[in-house]
Amino acid sequence: MSLASADTLPGEFAFTDADFEALARLARSEYGLSLASSKKPLVYSRLARRLRARGLATFRDYMSLLDRAEEAAERLELVSALTTNVTSFFREKHHFETLRSALVPELATQKRIRIWSAGCSSGQEPFSIAMTLLDGLPPGARDMRILATDIDPAILRKARAGRHPAEECATVPDEFRARWLRPVPGEPDLVEMGAELKALVSFAELNLICDWPFAGPFDAIFCRNVAIYFDQETQQRLWSRFADKLRAGGFLFIGHSERLSGTALPEFETAGVTTYRKRATPGPARPT
Catalytic residues: 46, 150
Contacts by residues 84-88 (CB-CB < 8 Å, ≥ 24 positions apart): 85/121, 85/122, 85/152, 85/155, 86/121, 86/225, 87/121, 87/122, 87/124, 87/125, 88/124, 88/168, 88/171
Q: Which residues contact 108 (CB under 8 A, 6 or more apart)?
A: 136, 137, 138
Q: How buried is residue 154: exposed, middle or buried, by Cβ count under 10 Å (0-12/13-18/19+)?
A: middle
Orientation angle between helical segments 40-54 and 72-82, nearest 10 degrees: 140
Question: Please, which residues have CB within 8 angstroms of residue 83's CB and are 6 or more apart in sequence?
Answer: 33, 152, 229
> Do residues 141 and 246 touch, judged by C-beta distance below 8 A?
no
**Rounded-to-integer distance, Cα 226 and Cα 253, Å:** 11
Picking from 9, 72, 71, the residue whose alpha carbon sits closest to that of residue 46 is: 9
